[in-house]
Amino acid sequence: MEKRSSPPIFGEVQEKKEPSEIIDTIILGDCREVLKTFPDEKVDLIMTSPPYAYNRKKTYGGVPVKKYVEWFLPILEELKRVLSPKGSFVLNIKERTVDGERGTYVYELVMAMQKQDWLWVEDYIWHKKNTYPGRWPNRFRDVWEHCYHFTKSKKFNMYQEAVMVPMGKWAEKRLAKLSETDRKRDESKTLSGFGKNVSHWVGRKFVYPDNVLYLATECSNRGHSAAFPIDLPKWFIKLFTKPGDVVLDPFIGSGTTAQAAIELGRHYIGIELMEQYYQLALNNVQKWQQKYKILPLEASHSGGMT
């Protein structure tokens, strides 16, 4: 079902593959080299959670905090090359605490990406609503992570209606009796530049969400130390792609991003360095293809990358 690639030799000149060779595949190898074989601007969304600095050293070896930005920037350069002009890149990451102090390498990475000509559009927050309680001497329980949204230009694909949420019971009383102020664009009393016209929402059942995602940490992917819940990539896939688009995860892990893409009718590409997780991703993807009755790889190349 899947195509397996041997890890390329570092420094070796890689020939560019045809889109049909990599679409709907999980590739075994180091994304620093594998990405060099991908064609330009054929990916619509990159959604990933890379190894955090010195976290899970037994799993991925770990990248030193002071060298994290240096390690990641060449990968980001390749990701920018393969991303379509109107595509998006969502980076799930969180700075760790070392010797009682929060690290700054994530913020340094964001600033370095801006110098690399990435446009930092938004910082979505993933609130882990079911984390376990705990106690620490100098801080409280850590229940959120960043989901940074980057693009290559100010004009990018975004399908906001796909992630609208129910209005909520608050509207029954709030919209029942509208004042004159509610019927015009009322400027914020703090002079923030944000205004609202409450009457626009009368009779509507759905509204646009905010930038905080309340998602549980539990997921169906077992056997991986850092798998995020499938609802996380699903939300961003719905927001930034349409059916038939291509989603890439260069640190695919247990295959969650690919499973989300399959479930939503998108194509996927995954890259995984570790053999055990590569095999886990293959198994998970195969189960998802069977669950959603996806045609085998050889019969499914009617759309996507061309």
Pair 150, 249 in one domain = yes
Residue 237, domain extent: 19-164+208-299
Angle at 229 between CA 227 and CA 231, to 5 degrees: 145
Backbone torsion region of residue 194, taken as left when φ is above 0, otherwise alpha when ψ lies between -120 and 50, otherwise beta: beta
Q: Quick one: CA dihedral 264, 268, 272, 276, positive or negative?
A: positive
Considering the domain architecture, whether residues 200 and 236 belong to the same structural domain is answered as no
Q: Are strands 165-166 and 206-207 parallel, antiparallel or unpaired?
A: antiparallel
Q: In this structure, which amino acid lies at residue 125?
A: I
In a domain, 54, yes or no: yes
Within a domain: residue 9?
no
Start-to-end CA span in the chain (Å): 20
Last residue of a domain, one of 153, 183, 207: 207
pLDDT, tens digit, for every residue of 138-194? Answer: 888 888 999 999 999 999 999 999 999 887 666 566 665 666 565 555 555 555 555
The string of pLDDT tens digits covering residues 82-102 is 999 999 999 999 887 777 888
Say if residue 223 is in the same domain as residue 249. yes
231-256 average pLDDT score = 97
Question: 118 and 198 share a domain?
Answer: no
Higher pLDDT, 73 or 220: 73
**Quick one: 153 and 199 in the same domain?**
no
Are 78 and 137 within one domain?
yes
Tell if the pTM clears 0.85, that is, is over it.
no
Q: What is the DSSP letter of 199?
A: G
